[in-house]
Structures are given as C-alpha cells and as structure tokens.
Amino acid sequence: MTLPIRNVAIIAHVDHGKTTLVDALLRQSGIFREGEEIPDCVMDSNALERERGITILSKNTAVHYKDTLINIVDTPGHADFGGEVERVLGMVDGCILIVDANEGPMPQTRFVLKKALEKGLRPIVVVNKIDRPQADPHGATDKVLDLFLELGADDDQCEFPYLFASGLAGFAKDELEQESVDMQPLFNAILHHVPPPVGDINKPLQLQVTTLDYSEYLGRIVIGKIHNGTIRTGQQAALMTESGAIVKGKISKLMGFEGLKRIEMEEASAGNIVAVAGFADANIGETITCPNEPQALPLIKVDEPTLQMTFSVNDSPFAGQEGKLVTSRQVRDRLFRELETNVALRVEETDSPDKFLVSGRGELHLGILIETMRREGYEFQVSQPQVIYREVSGQPCEPYECLVLDVPEEGVGSCIERLGQRKGEMQDMQVGGNGRTQLEFVIPARGLVGFRGEFMRLTRGDGIMNHSFLDYRPISGDIEARRNGVLISFEEGVATFYAMKNAEDRGVFFIHPSTKVYKGMIVGEHNRPQDLELNVCKTKQLTNHRASGGDELVQLQAPMEMSLERALEYIGPEELVEVTPKSIRLRKVTKKLAKR
C-alpha cells in the first residue's frame, strides 16, 4: 500500500524567507537525528548560494507528516532564475506563496504568482516574518488579495487560505491572536488545501524530466514527477526526445527523497517525485515512457531570455597566465554543457570561432554562470550586456521591467529624476512611517543596465532595489547613459603608489598599488566625460637627497572595488570584462586607443 502524497512548491520574492521556512519544516518533521548538527539554510547546498544568501537552483526534499509523504520543492526568489520556478511548477499540485509581513508583495511575487495561477494552482499564502518590527500582517494579506485580482485569479483562487508565520522562530498560526510554537498549522494546511496528485497507475508510464543532476557513479540523473503508470528498477523504458525521436533504455537506479537524502526504491507509482538513472542523453522537458506505448507529455515552456552578452576567448596581454581552461573549444564545450541544465539560457555560435552569444534572464543570471566558470578554472572575456529586441505584431519591441525601490527620504527626489532620464514611469509611491519610501516604476530593461551602481551612490548604499521582467512593449527611444570617462593604462608594468598619488585628482582608481597592468587596461573612472590615458607605472627618481621612504605617511584614497556584477554593470559598449580564476579586469576592446 502506497502512502498518500502531497507535492508542493515554495515560491516567493527574494529574501522573503523561503529557505528558512523549509528549514523549520525539516527540523520539525523529525528527519534529523537527535543531536545531529543542522546548518542554517540546509537547502542552499551550492557554495555560491551560501555566499550570497540566495537560492539559485530549485531543490527537492520530502518529509512525512500524519502518514502522508509531502514532497517539497524550494525555488529561487530572484527574477533572473525564474526559469527554475517555471519548470518545477509543472510537477506540483499546490504551492505555498510566502510574503514578507513588512514589505508585502514585491516584483518577483507577481511573477511567481502569475505562473502558479496560469498552472491552475491554488496557493496557500504564508505571511512570514510577523515577529519583526514594522510588520503589518493584515496589510500584507490585503495587498496579496489585490495582486490576485490584478492577475485575473478566479473566485476559487481568490478565496486563498492564509497563515501567519515566522520561519526563523519556527512557528505558524491561522490567526494572529492565536498562540503557536510549531509549524503544525502549516503542515495541516498542506494536507487540507493541496490536492493529491492526479494520475492513473494503470496507464502506461509517463515521467517528465524537470531537473538534471550528475553522479560520478551513475552518470546523468533525471528528476521528475510520475504523471501516469508505475516505474521499477531494472525495467525497460523509452525516452521521447524534444525532436520526437524514441531512445530505448533501462532504469538502472530508482531513488526517492527523504529529508536531504536520496533513498533507493524498487518501485514508485503515479504522483511520486523520483530520481532516475539510466538515460545519459535525457534533457529537461522530455518524457520517460513505456517502450510499447510511447506517449510524450507537453514540453516545458519557459519565457525567453531578455539580455545577451558575448563570451570570447581572452586575448589580453595577460591571457593564459591565471586560468587552466582558456581555448575556444573548452569555453564552447562548457557553455553548451550549461544548456543541459539551465533551461532559461541560450548559446549561439557567431561568425568568429572565438566568440559565443549567450542570452539569459538578467545580469545576475549571466553573472552566476560567469562566476561558476571562473571558479572551475576558465579564463575568458565578456562584453557589455545588451537587451534582446523582438518583433510583436509587426512592431519592434523591447523588454520592460517592473522596478521597486525602497529608499531613504533624502534619496527619493534624485532617484525619481534619474529614472525619468532612463525612461522610467512611476506607478506608485508609498511613504512609510520609518523614514523610508517605496517607489514602483515600469522601465525599459536597457534603462536598468548600469543603474545599480548609480542607485547605490544616490542612496549612499542604503537603498534596496528589486526588479522582474514585465512584458515586451514598443521601443521607447534613446536612453542617455551618463557615465564619466575611464582612466586607461598606456603601458604594461606594475602600478606604483607614486604614479597613482600624482594622478589621484584625475578620478577614482579601481586598482591598488603593485597591481599588474597592461596597455589598454581600465584602471579607474575619470572625473570628466572623456577617457584619459595614464602612466600608472611611473616611479620616483631617487637621488642622494631624497630617500625612497619619504612619503610613507602620505595615504592614497581607497579604490573602488570592482566585483564581477559591478564590472558587468559598469562597462560601456567598447569595453570588456576579463574574467580569470584570480582576477576581474576591465579593458578597452581595441588596442588602438585615442591619442592623449
């Protein structure tokens, strides 16, 4: 006899507490031994996820509650990883929408809720972080209802169940006035409101691949939901590919989920979410089916990318000094391998064998790929991100974003002025009682390229910026991207304190003294609109009258640290970011620089 099953996804805007809430569910389900050390954010297993405090990849876990197996899928909250959300919503029968009690619905809340409603899911709304100061749980609930109505939810979906919770404190409750010490109300809501999976165990096997994994021992592992039929270890099966071809194979290993572990199974039936080994060429969206009666499920469709950049082989004077994987073949193989698991990514070859056009959902989506590759030992260079234009009903259109800013009062005017220059249209403005104001804009995606760094300067680092893709609209005309010129090194060598101190009044540096530089490398930002070439390797002439340590007490102003994301936002059309395992450098595209 099989256990009753519930399949549920956790969806929310970034930083609204999904992973922390899943932590609480896991801790209270009894899957950990007594005394076992449990890290925070146990579902964020990727090193980049832990460093940045965000979820990048959707992950599966399962817990038992009252003799019911609850499969939980934790999804990313950032708009750039929306492709992960879209593909997993097809294998669940319900979802938990988490909303911050203070912030209310944010741009990504709109995106994930829209996708859930399109799938016909009825979300359970959890108003999280109710124990924080300035929390307004009832206000957040009202805003969620407004969002449901705005997105065209039907009457049944608008009658959504809602709970109040604190993932960090580990409790949930049906009413604010109630006392609660655990997550039982949320477990009960899942059993009561999430319908059991629909599927017929007597029909031929149909399992749709929604996630890919890899094991050194088993090869490619596919994860997905069994829509119909039964699957057994060792049985013959067929893979129906995207092109319609049928590839026969055998289920070499069948695994289910329990807590953070995968457990081997002999058999699983319709409604279960399982991991299967045996199909080395399976891709996301394809169907593992019965070889005698092959029937494909509809392919998973995700929104198209909105931003693209060129990846090319590093041809700077320092090429090959820091990376192990530097050739065009190695870069090409890695990019095409990423396509197997990253459904929202596109890679195209260009006229040049050394350049590849890579398209993604946003700067963070592409930035995570770049960061992952450099940690694996790749060395390459990338161009400025460009938006992807599209023709809609015969009219050229561009992607628009929904932008929400949380800014201190003194920064409101300058942010509105700057976004107006970037073709942003203000939709809403809410003044909070804590000296902060929330601004909502609709803005062309190209108006946001390079805006984050400027926004941080306008708000002195105290602003919060969130945005997500809205739709394609007619092109809005030219956007003036104001940025000062850059300081460029005009010779190869090592930057010296003496040269940098003498040029300090010309702008802000991106490098420290003793940094190796080459001709054409961008070393700072000029304080005027035009570019300026400098000799940052110049040394002080020593004489018997002046000692080399004479300026020890003189200090240089702190350089502007260029992280990968900041560099991608900063560069202009004729500039590149050189990416190696050890360094992030900015450089001009051409070596023929303007005369001084």
Residue 111 pLDDT exceeds 60: yes
Residues facing residue 215 across a β-bridge: 219
306: annotated binding-site residue? no
Residues facing residue 209 across a β-bridge: 224
Residue 392 pLDDT exceeds 90: no
Q: Count other C-beta atoms under 10 Å from residue 592's C-beta.
A: 8
Any idea what the Cα angle at residue 203 is, between residues 197 and 206, rounded to 5°?
65
Task: Say what the pLDDT of residue 544 is.
Answer: 59
15: annotated binding-site residue? yes
Does CATH place domain 486-588 in 3.40.50.300? Answer: no
Confidence of residue 333 (pLDDT cuts 50, 70, 90): very high
What's the Cα-to-Cα distance from 204 to each of 5, 9, 292, 295, rounded to whole Å? 20, 26, 9, 8
d(CA 142, CA 193): 20
Q: 341 versus 534: which is more confidently predicted? A: 534
Residue 141 pLDDT exceeds 70: yes
Domain spanning 5-193: which superfamily? P-loop containing nucleotide triphosphate hydrolases (3.40.50.300)
Quick one: fold of 390-474? Alpha-Beta Plaits (3.30.70)
% of the chain beyond a pLDDT of 70? 87
**162, 147 in Cβ contact below 8 A?**
no
- How many helices (H) and strands (E) the chain has is answered by 14, 35
462: annotated binding-site residue? no
Residue 51 pLDDT exceeds 70: no
Residue 39 pLDDT exceeds 80: no
Per-residue pLDDT tens over the stretch 454-496: 787 788 878 877 777 778 889 887 876 656 889 999 889 999 9
Average pLDDT of span 379-393: 89
Residue 393 pLDDT exceeds 60: yes
Quick one: fold of 206-289? Elongation Factor Tu (Ef-tu); domain 3 (2.40.30)
d(CA 92, CA 87): 10
Residue 382 pLDDT exceeds 90: yes
Strands (E), 134-205: 162-166, 171-173
The residue type of 182 is D
315: annotated binding-site residue? no
Residues facing residue 311 across a β-bridge: 356, 382
Task: Say what the pLDDT of residue 470 is.
Answer: 79
Residues facing residue 357 across a β-bridge: 310, 348
- Relative to beta strand 380-383, strand 575-579 is antiparallel
What is the average pLDDT score of the chain? 81
Q: 37 versus 29: which is more confidently predicted? A: 29
Per-residue pLDDT tens over the stretch 441-453: 999 988 887 787 7
Task: Say what the pLDDT of residue 383 is.
Answer: 92
Confidence of residue 381 (pLDDT cuts 50, 70, 90): very high
Per-residue exposure over 10-24, b if at least 16 CB sit within 10 Å of its own CB, e if not: bbbbbbbbbbbbbbb
Residue 171 token pair: 């409790």
Residue 87 token pair: 């593909």
Most confident of 46-50, 184-188, 291-295: 184-188
Cα Rg of the chain, angstroms: 27
**76, 54 in Cβ contact below 8 A?**
yes
Average pLDDT of span 242-264: 83
d(CA 126, CA 162): 6
434: annotated binding-site residue? no
142: annotated binding-site residue? no
Average pLDDT of span 133-158: 83
d(CA 516, CA 493): 6
**44, 55 in Cβ contact below 8 A?**
yes
Residue 85 token pair: 């959300």
d(CA 243, CA 62): 33
**212, 283 in Cβ contact below 8 A?**
yes
131: annotated binding-site residue? yes
Residues facing residue 5 across a β-bridge: 69
The residue type of 211 is T
Per-residue pLDDT tens over the stretch 546-591: 555 555 556 778 888 888 888 888 888 889 999 999 999 999 986 4
Q: Count other C-beta atoms under 10 Å from residue 122's C-beta.
A: 20
Task: Say what the pLDDT of residue 40 is.
Answer: 45
Per-residue pLDDT tens over the stretch 61-81: 888 888 888 888 877 655 545
d(CA 283, CA 259): 26
DSSP states along 278-334 = S-TT--TT-EEE-SSS--PPPPP--PPP-EEEEEEE--STTTTSS-SB-SHHHHHHH
Residue 303 token pair: 């929104």
Contacts made by residues 566-570, CB under 8 angstroms, sequence distance 24+:
566/452, 566/453, 568/309, 568/363, 568/366, 568/367, 568/370, 568/382, 568/384, 568/385, 569/363, 569/449, 569/450, 569/451, 569/452, 569/453, 570/450, 570/453, 570/483
What's the Cα-to-Cα distance from 568 to each of 50, 88, 530, 579, rounded to whole Å? 22, 30, 20, 11
141: annotated binding-site residue? no
Task: Say what the pLDDT of residue 335 is.
Answer: 92
Residue 595 pLDDT exceeds 50: no
Residue 200 token pair: 């017929």
Q: Average the pLDDT over each of 98-112, 161-175, 386-400, 546-560 and give the range with the smallest value.
A: 546-560
pTM of the model: 0.72
**443, 381 in Cβ contact below 8 A?**
no
DSSP states along 122-144 = -PEEEEE-TTSTT--HHHHHHHH
66: annotated binding-site residue? no
Residue 113 pLDDT exceeds 50: yes
Q: 517 versus 135: which is more confidently predicted? A: 517
**262, 256 in Cβ contact below 8 A?**
yes
Q: Where are the domains of the chain?
A: 5-193, 206-289, 390-474, 486-588
Q: What residues contact residue 543 under an 8 Å CB cut-off, 6+ apart?
A: none
261: annotated binding-site residue? no
**562, 523 in Cβ contact below 8 A?**
no
